[in-house]
Amino acid sequence: MFKSITKTIWIISLVSLFTDFASEMLYPVMPVYLKSIGYSVMVIGVLEGFAEAVAGLGKSYFGRLSDASGKRLPFVRLGYFLSAVSKPMIALSTQVWWIFSARFIDRAGKGLRTAPRDALLSDETDAANKGTVFGFHRAMDTFGAVLGPLTALLFLFYYPGQYKFLFYIAFVPGVVAIVFTFLVKDKKTGHASKKAVAFHQTFSYWNESSADYKKLVGGLLLFALFNSSDVFLLLKMKESGMPDTTVIAVYIFYNLVFALLAFPLGRMADRVGMKKIFLAGLIFFIITYAGFAFPGGNSLFWVYFLSYGIFAAATDGVSKAWISNITPKTETASAIGLYTGFQSIATLIASSAAGFIWVQFGPSAVFLSAAIVALFSFSWILYSFRS
């Protein structure tokens, strides 16, 4: 089962596990903390969208730069370092500019590391095992997303309302992740172009990419334009009267489902095809968001997050594996970087729009519109690819 998982894949996956341990310790707490210090839902939506846009620009640009230089690890190490130091920064001040700066540093780190890291994973395997490798990485990454909120839940149980101290605790697993990056050696890829990559070329890979790449990424981005930050799912549960600890517990459950299913669904995608598994995942997204649009009681949130975990496990790693399989090896970081970059900018639009729609028309309109667009994306991908 694990014969395609090399030492490098194990280490990079552990790095992601500890980084997500740190990030996800704070993720379900972040909207609650920001509301407690006076931030509105609209501002939270813009903040999260802004953070993802910063990450998006970085993912695309540094993906191009990684392919051009033939190097992966320098981007990976610096990216994880920036994300680690951003955690305690958030607790130091409640000023809007400071919070935005801390989130900027965190997401800049993500932008630096994402595409080179995914290319590093892709370089470690072949086309027949991409789903398995990306699924394994997502499983390990998401186990960190189980440990993080669980730590936050236990802390808040004993120290309710003491959000700030969690930001300091989150620095510890972030440092562990940085240490692990020094156990990986950069491979000499032999395909460095040595060409300088100007910032205005950030999204230029689109013009060079294949027709299949454009069709696939077009369908994925149509979906991303209405797939707002998960913060809104958490806020919906909070506004439905669920206590902080229960909101975090449901989020832990979602990540556990995601972590347990990402690896087997990735392996299945290698056997039956990426398209089938990805489309099945979109069906579970539609179920989740339609459920949030018309909730039938707080107990059903557990069912919706079970469905949401299946969606994430069936689509997150599979989409990157699919992209890497239709892209030349020398362009992997550029291809994944462009997709994840556009995806992050789409999240900016989606999250900002969701904040506005939430205030003007209510949360049901946010979730229902996302479910409807997901159905359009399903149809696009279904009819654009034969297999």
Q: Considering only CA atoms, which of 119, 117, 127 is closest in space to residue 13?
A: 117
Please report the pLDDT score of residue 148 as a whole number: 86
Alpha-carbon separation of residue 97 from 93, 250, 369 (angstroms): 9, 31, 32
Q: What domains can you pick out in the chain, each with its CATH number?
A: 7-183+205-384 (1.20.1250.20)
CA 374, distance to chain mean position in Å, is 18
pLDDT tens, residue by residue, 39-90:
676 676 677 667 767 777 788 888 888 888 888 888 999 999 998 988 888 7
Please report the pLDDT score of residue 235 as a whole number: 84
| Whole-angstrom distance, CA of residue 27 vs CA of residue 237 | 15
Alpha-carbon separation of residue 227 from 90, 97, 132, 190, 221 (angstroms): 26, 26, 25, 38, 9
For 41, the token pair is 């839902």
For the entire predicted model, the pTM comes to 0.84
Alpha-carbon separation of residue 48 from 97, 110, 274 (angstroms): 14, 14, 30
Please report the pLDDT score of residue 78 as a whole number: 92
Please report the pLDDT score of residue 195 as a whole number: 59
pLDDT tens, residue by residue, 242-287:
887 788 788 889 989 999 999 999 999 999 999 999 999 999 999 9
pLDDT beyond 60 at 198: no
How many other CB atoms are found less than 10 A from the CB of residue 154? 12
| Whole-angstrom distance, CA of residue 51 vs CA of residue 190 | 34
pLDDT tens, residue by residue, 17-35:
999 998 888 876 776 777 7
